[in-house]
C-alpha cells in the first residue's frame, strides 16, 4: 500500500520544525525502505497571505484523500486583527471539523533525561507513559443552545453539554483499541455524580467494554478526582478517555507533568477510510512561537514525535515509531538541549537543525 502524507508547515516555527521532520522522513525512505508520497501545502497565515483564506478548498480536499496530515503550527501577531472568519486558527478548525476527527490523542511521556524538568518529584514522573483520549467534536464546546442572552436586568451566559450514545461509543472504542496496543487499561473520567451526560458517558463506555473489549481492564473515575490522581500518582494510568471539556483540562495538566511544550506531540483521529486507515491529523501541541521564530531556537522534537505517532497509528509501523522515539531518548540522554530544555544542570546547546541532525545520527547509530 502506498503511504500518502500531506505536510502543512504553517506559520512561525512551523516551517523550521517541519524541515527537521523532512530529514527523518527521508531517513526512513533511504534506510528502512518505508517511503511516503509527500505533498506540501499552505495553512494558517501563510495560506491567508497567498489566497486570502487560511485553508483553500483544494487543500481541504487533499487532506481528505491522504493517509495522514502532518501540521506544524498556525498563527502569529501579524494576523491578530483579522476577522474571525479568516484567522489562521480557522484553517486548523476546518481541518478537524471536516475530517470529523473525534478522538484527540495526547500522550504524556516523561523521558528519563528530562525528569527533573517536571514540577513533580523525579520518582513520581520518571518513566511516565500515559495517553489521554479526549473527545474532540462534541460536548459543551459545540452543544446548543449557547450564547449570551438577556434575562430581566442581567445577562446570562449559556452553554450546553450534549453527548449522543454514538459519539461516546466511537471515542470509547478508540480508547480500548489503543489500550490493547499498550498496557491494556482504560480509565474513563466524567462527572456522573452531578451531570446526566456523565451518567450516560459512564453507561455507554461500560456497555462497549462488556460487549466488545471485555479483556481490557476498565475503571471509572470522577474527573475532579482524576485531576488529583494525575498529580499524585500519574503512573497508575495507561489510557484515560474523557469528554471534550474535561479532556481539554486533563490533557494540559498531564502534559505539564513532563516539562517543555517543545516535547509534546498529538494525534487527532477519525473514522476508518476505505483502505482501513483512520482519518488522521498529527501536530505538535505547541503554537507558532513567534517570539523565537526564524532564530534556529525551536525544539523540533514535538513535531518529530508527532511523526512517530503517524508511523504507529496511520502506517502500522509501531516498531519503527519506537525506533524513532529511542533515537530521541538517546539524544536527550547524551545531553543535547535546545534552549527550552536547558535546565540548571546545563547540557550541550543545539539549534533546531542541530537537534534534527543529531536524531538522524542516532537513528543511523541504532541500525
Annotated binding site for substrate, which residues?
96, 106, 134, 224
Choose which of 165, 215, 291, 319 interacts with ligand NAD (CB under 6 A): 291
Mark residue 184 as left, alpha or beta (left: phi above 0; alpha: psi -120 to 50; beta: remaining). left
Reading the block at residue 150, the C-alpha cell is 438577556
Phi and psi torsions of 358, nearest 5°: -65, -35
* Distance of alpha carbon 96 from alpha carbon 268, whole angstroms: 8
Binding to ligand NAD by residue 114, rule CB under 6 A? no
| Pick 105 or 298: Cβ nearer ligand NAD | 298
Phi and psi torsions of 342, nearest 5°: -80, 100
Least separation in angstroms between CB 292 and ligand NAD: 4
| Pick 204 or 298: Cβ nearer ligand NAD | 298
Q: Is 238 a known active-site residue?
A: no
- Given the rule CB under 6 A, which of 192-200, 216-224, 286-294, 305-313 is the region that contacts ligand NAD? 286-294
Binding to ligand NAD by residue 264, rule CB under 6 A? no
Least separation in angstroms between CB 177 and ligand NAD: 25
Residue list, annotated binding site for NAD(+): 76-89, 287-299
| Pick 87 or 312: Cβ nearer ligand NAD | 87
Binding to ligand NAD by residue 298, rule CB under 6 A? yes
CA distances from 115 to 110, 118, 265, 341, 351 (A): 6, 6, 17, 11, 22
Q: Is 141 a known active-site residue?
A: yes
* Distance of alpha carbon 22 from alpha carbon 95, whole angstroms: 22
Q: Which one, of 3, 33, 32, 38, lies nearest residue 18 by Cα?
A: 38
* Distance of alpha carbon 43 from alpha carbon 52, whole angstroms: 11
Binding to ligand NAD by residue 136, rule CB under 6 A? no
Binding to ligand NAD by residue 302, rule CB under 6 A? yes
Catalytic residue among 23, 141, 180, 222: 141
| Ordered DSSP codes for 11-49 | STTHHHHHHHHHHHHHHHHHHH----EEEE---THHHHH
Q: Is 243 a known active-site residue?
A: no
Least separation in angstroms between CB 69 and ligand NAD: 13
Q: Is 248 a known active-site residue?
A: yes
82 secondary structure, DSSP code? S
Catalytic residue among 191, 213, 282, 340: 191
Site map (CB under 6 A) of ligand NAD, residues 41-80, x = contact: --------------------------------xxxx----
Q: What is the CA radius of gyration of the chain?
A: 21
74 secondary structure, DSSP code? -
Choose which of 288, 306, 314, 317 interacts with ligand NAD (CB under 6 A): 288
Catalytic residue among 129, 252, 316, 334: 252
* 199 CA to centre of own chain: 27
Reading the block at residue 127, the C-alpha cell is 518513566
Report the run of H or E that residue 156 belongs to, with start and end: strand 154-160
* Distance of alpha carbon 129 from alpha carbon 132, whole angstroms: 10
> Which letter, b or e, does each residue of 169-192 get, where b requires 16 or more Cβ atoms within 10 Å of its Cβ?
ebbbbbbbbbbeeebebbbbbbbb
Binding to ligand NAD by residue 262, rule CB under 6 A? yes
Binding to ligand NAD by residue 340, rule CB under 6 A? yes
Of residues 13-32, those binding ligand NAD (CB under 6 A): 13
Binding to ligand NAD by residue 299, rule CB under 6 A? yes
| Pick 90 or 312: Cβ nearer ligand NAD | 90
| Pick 19 or 169: Cβ nearer ligand NAD | 19
Number of residues lying near ligand NAD (CB under 6 A) = 21
Binding to ligand NAD by residue 261, rule CB under 6 A? yes
Binding to ligand NAD by residue 125, rule CB under 6 A? no
Residues that bind ligand NAD (CB under 6 A): 13, 73-76, 89, 92, 261-262, 283, 286-292, 298-299, 302, 340
Q: Which residues are catalytic?
A: 141, 191, 224, 248, 252
Amino acid at each position: 500500500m502506498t503511504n500518502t502524507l500531506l505536510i502543512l508547515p504553517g506559520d512561525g516555527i512551523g516551517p523550521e520544525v517541519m524541515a527537521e521532520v523532512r530529514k527523518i522522513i527521508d531517513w526512513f525512505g533511504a534506510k528502512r525502505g518505508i517511503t511516503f508520497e509527500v505533498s506540501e501545502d499552505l495553512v494558517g497565515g501563510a495560506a491567508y497571505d497567498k489566497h486570502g483564506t487560511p485553508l483553500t478548498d483544494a487543500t481541504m480536499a487533499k487532506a481528505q484523500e491522504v493517509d495522514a496530515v502532518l501540521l506544524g503550527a498556525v498563527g502569529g501577531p501579524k494576523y491578530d486583527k483579522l476577522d474571525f472568519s479568516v484567522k489562521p486558527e480557522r484553517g486548523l478548525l476546518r481541518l478537524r471539523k471536516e475530517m470529523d476527527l473525534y478522538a484527540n490523542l495526547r500522550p504524556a511521556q516523561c523521558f528519563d533525561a528530562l525528569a527533573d524538568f517536571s514540577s513533580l518529584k523525579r520518582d513520581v514522573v520518571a518513566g511516565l507513559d500515559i495517553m489521554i483520549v479526549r473527545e474532540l467534536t462534541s460536548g459543551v464546546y459545540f452543544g446548543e443552545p449557547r450564547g449570551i442572552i438577556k434575562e430581566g436586568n442581567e445577562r446570562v451566559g449559556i452553554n450546553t453539554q450534549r453527548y449522543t450514545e454514538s459519539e461516546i461509543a466511537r471515542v470509547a472504542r478508540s480508547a480500548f483499541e489503543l489500550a490493547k496496543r499498550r498496557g491494556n487499561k482504560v480509565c474513563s473520567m466524567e462527572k456522573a455524580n452531578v451531570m446526566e451526560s456523565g451518567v450516560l458517558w459512564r453507561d455507554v463506555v461500560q456497555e462497549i467494554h462488556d460487549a466488545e473489549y471485555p479483556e481490557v481492564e476498565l475503571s471509572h473515575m470522577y474527573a475532579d478526582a482524576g485531576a488529583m490522581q494525575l498529580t499524585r500518582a500519574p503512573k497508575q494510568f495507561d489510557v484515560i478517555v474523557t469528554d471534550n471539556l474535561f479532556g481539554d483540562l486533563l490533557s494540559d495538566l498531564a502534559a505539564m507533568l513532563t516539562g517543555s511544550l517543545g516535547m509534546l506531540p498529538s494525534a487527532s483521529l477519525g473514522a476508518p477510510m476505505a483502505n482501513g486507515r483512520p482519518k488522521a491529523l498529527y501536530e505538535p501541541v505547541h503554537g507558532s512561537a513567534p517570539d523565537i521564530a526564524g532564530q534556529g531556537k525551536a525544539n523540533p522534537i514535538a513535531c518529530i514525535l508527532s511523526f512517530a505517532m503517524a508511523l504507529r497509528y496511520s502506517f502500522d509501523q509501531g516498531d519503527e515509531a519506537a525506533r524513532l522515539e529511542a533515537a530521541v531518548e538517546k539524544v536527550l540522554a547524551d545531553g543535547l538541549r535546545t534552549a527550552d530544555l536547558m535546565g540548571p544542570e546545563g547540557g550541550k546547546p543545539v539549534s533546531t537543525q542541530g537537534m534534527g541532525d543529531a536524531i538522524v545520527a542516532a537513528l543511523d547509530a541504532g541500525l
